[in-house]
Structure 1
C-alpha cells in the first residue's frame, strides 16, 4: 500500500506499507482525498517526536467494511481522537482530552495519507449526497473553527479580530462572521486579505487594545504576543494556532489586564457538514497532488493542498 510515513525524524513516501486491518469497533476506509494541515507540517518539525506511522487526519473516503451496516459504502469524514471511555476526562465529558486517546496521524494511530486506513466507527460522519468530496474535505478544520462557539459566548454587540490571513483564519473568520459581530481580519498579505472582504474589515495593522475578542490564527509563535497587544483589558484571546515551539511572554500582562486566554482545537462535525452543505461557508478549491509529490503539497502556497487517491 502507498502511504506517507513519519519515521520519527522525517516523512517518507512508501509503497510497501501493509494493508490496515480493523480492530474491534473499527471501520476500513478507502481514502478519496486527504488534506495537509499546519499540524502535519509541525509534526515534521518535531511536534510529536514519539510518533511513528502514517501521517494525516483530514480526509474524505468510502467505507469498505464496518461493524455498523449504516456506514457500508457511504462517503464519510472522521474525527481525530479515539477515546478510551474510562479515564477521568472521558468520564467527565471531555473525550477529546482522553488520557489514553489515539489520534489519527499523530499519536498511536496511522492516519489518512495512505490508500486505506482504519478508524473507530464512532468517529465517522456520513457526507451528504449533495456535498462534493472537494468541499467535504474541509469538514475537520471547519469543525475546529466552530469549536470557538462551543467554548465562549460571543456577544454580537462587541467587536472581534482574527489575527492571520491563512487557511485557519479564513475558516475562523467566516464562523465568527455568522454571529453578526463587528469583525476585523489582521494579516500581512494584501492579496490574501481579499478573500475576507465580503464579510469582514481587513487591515495589515491592527489597533492596539482595540478588540474585545482576538482569535489568534497565525500558526506562528509571534501570534500570541501580538494578540495580547491587540486585545482590550478584560478581553478574550482564542488561541487556535498549533505549532512546535516555545514562546517568551510577559505574563504579567495577562494578570494585570485580566485577560482570558482560551485554547481551542477539535470541534463538532455535524454542524460543520451542515454549513458546507448549505453553502454558508465559501472556500477556494483544494490543490491536489499525487502522494509521491508530498514535498510539493507541503510547500504549496495554495489555500489548501492535499492528495488525490485514484484507482
Structure 2
C-alpha cells in the first residue's frame, strides 16, 4: 500500500490530566529512516506506563500511589523527570503495545519484509547511543502505537505467525515482556512464588509465565477475581488484606510496593529473591535491613531486558504456550474512556485499542 500523507493519532501534549490526550486526524505519517520499517498499526493497548507518563508519576517529586491523581495529574511533578527515563519532548505519541503490518521499509532493510505481520519489542537499546545502559521504550522515548502508522528499527519489529486476532496479539508485548523479564531476572524454576497485583496486565501474564516454568503460584488479588486468576493457573490466592505466611516463598514478584511492602520480605524465605517492576500502591517503602541480611535475601529491580526476552515471548505465542487476556476493547478515538476504565481496576488482563 502507499501510505497517506496524514493519519489519525493520539497526541500526548504534556504531563497532566486526561485532557492532555488529543485525538487528531491530521498528524503527518512518519517516514522510515535507514534501517527502519513503517508499520500500519492494527491494534494497541493501555498500560500503567502510559498513565504514569501522562500524569508525571515517575517524577521523584511524587510519592503517592499511581491512582492518587491518575485522572488529573500530580501537583509538583517535574517535566525534567516526569517520564521514567527523564524528560520527554512533546507532543508524543504513546502506545507501547503494537500489532500491525509492515507497509514500507527504509534503506538497508530487505523489501521482502513488506507485508509481514509483526509485534514491536517495546523496550530496546537505541542504536545511536554508546551507553550500554541506555534504553528506549516504544511510546515513550520515541513515538508509539496510538496512531495508524509508526516506525521502528527493523530488528525490533518481530514477525509473528499466529491465528490470534490483532487485538489479542496487541495484549502481549508490554505486559508479557515485563513479566518474562522479571521471571528471567529471578531465575524462577519449579519453586514457590508470590505474585502481587496479579489481576492486571502484568500480573495475569506473570501467572501464566510462572506456571510455564512449573512454579507453584500464589496470587494476591481481590476476592472477586480469585476464580479468574485460578483459570489462568494460580494454585492459591490471598486477599490484599490477608496476613502473608512467613518464610513461605522462594520468589516474590511484586508490582505493588506501598505500605505493606515489609510483609513481602517476611514472607520470602531464606535466600529468597524479590523482584519488582512496579509500585502501584506507592514507591516509598520501609526496609528493615535485618530481615534482608539475616535471611540472605536478594532484591532485584527489573526494567531492562535481554534481547532474548521478546524473541522467547513470540515463540511462546506461536506455540500456544500462553494466551491473551483481554477484558475490554475500545476504538483509539476513545482513548480517554479507555484510560478511565483502566483506572477503575475492575478488569482482569488488558484493555485493548482498535486502531482504525
Pairwise TM-score range, normalised by the shorter structure = 0.7 to 0.9
In 2, distance between residues paired with 1:125 and 1:69? 15
From the superposition, tell whether residues 85 and 3 of structure 1 become closer, same or farther in structure 2 (CA, over 3 Å): closer
Aligned mate of 1:58, from 94, 97, 104:
97
Task: Show the counterpart of 2:267.
Answer: 230
Aligned mate of 1:250, from 273, 287, 300:
287
Listed as ranges, the gaps of 5+ residues in structure 2 are 1-6, 59-82
SS in 1 for 2:312: helix
Listed as ranges, the gaps of 5+ residues in structure 1 are 90-96
Matched, 1:309 2:309: no
Task: Show the counterpart of 1:134.
Answer: 167
Task: Show the counterpart of 1:21.
Answer: 31
Matched, 1:114 2:157: no
Summarize deviations over 1:190-246 as a string: whole Å, max 9, x none.
Answer: 22221222422112123133212111023x544644422322233111112166964
Summarize deviations over 1:32-55 as a string: whole Å, max 9, x none.
Answer: 001111111111220316222111
SS in 1 for 2:27: coil
CA contact (8 A) 2:326 2:352 kept: no
The structural deviation recorded for 1:155 is: 4.0
Moved over 4 A (4+): 242-245
Alignment of 1:61-76 (within 5 A): 61-66=100-105, 67-76=109-118
The structural deviation recorded for 1:82 is: 4.5
Q: Note the aligned Cα RMSD (angstroms).
A: 2.3
SS in 2 for 1:16: strand
In 2, distance between residues paired with 1:55 and 1:135? 19
In 1, distance between residues paired with 2:169 and 2:154? 18
From the superposition, tell whether residues 14 and 224 of structure 1 become closer, same or farther in structure 2 (CA, over 3 Å): farther
Task: Show the counterpart of 1:93.
Answer: none
Q: Which moved more, 1:139-148 or 1:250-259?
A: 250-259
In 2, distance between residues paired with 1:243 and 1:28? 34
SS in 2 for 1:197: helix
Aligned mate of 1:176, from 192, 207, 210:
210
In 1, distance between residues paired with 2:87 and 2:338? 24
Aligned length: 297
Matched, 1:202 2:240: no
CA contact (8 A) 1:147 1:264 kept: yes
Task: Show the counterpart of 2:42.
Answer: 32
From the superposition, tell whether residues 284 and 244 of structure 1 become closer, same or farther in structure 2 (CA, over 3 Å): closer
SS in 2 for 1:4: strand
Aligned mate of 2:312, from 271, 282, 301:
271
In 2, distance between residues paired with 1:44 and 1:297? 14
In 2, distance between residues paired with 1:281 and 1:177? 10
Matched, 1:288 2:294: no
Matched, 1:241 2:278: yes
Task: Show the counterpart of 1:185.
Answer: 219
Task: Show the counterpart of 1:3.
Answer: 9
Matched, 1:297 2:338: yes
Q: Which moved more, 1:228-237 or 1:73-82?
A: 228-237
From the superposition, tell whether residues 30 and 155 of structure 1 become closer, same or farther in structure 2 (CA, over 3 Å): closer
Give the structure-2-normalised TM-score: 0.76
CA contact (8 A) 2:192 2:251 kept: yes
In 2, distance between residues paired with 1:129 and 1:179? 22
Alignment of 1:87-106 (within 5 A): 87-89=130-132, 97-98=133-134, 101-106=135-140
CA contact (8 A) 2:40 2:100 kept: yes
Task: Show the counterpart of 1:211.
Answer: 249
From the superposition, tell whether residues 186 and 244 of structure 1 become closer, same or farther in structure 2 (CA, over 3 Å): closer
SS in 2 for 1:306: strand
Summarize deviations over 1:56-89 as a string: whole Å, max 9, x none.
Answer: 1101011110122242111111112242266241
Task: Show the counterpart of 2:73.
Answer: none
The structural deviation recorded for 1:287 is: 2.0
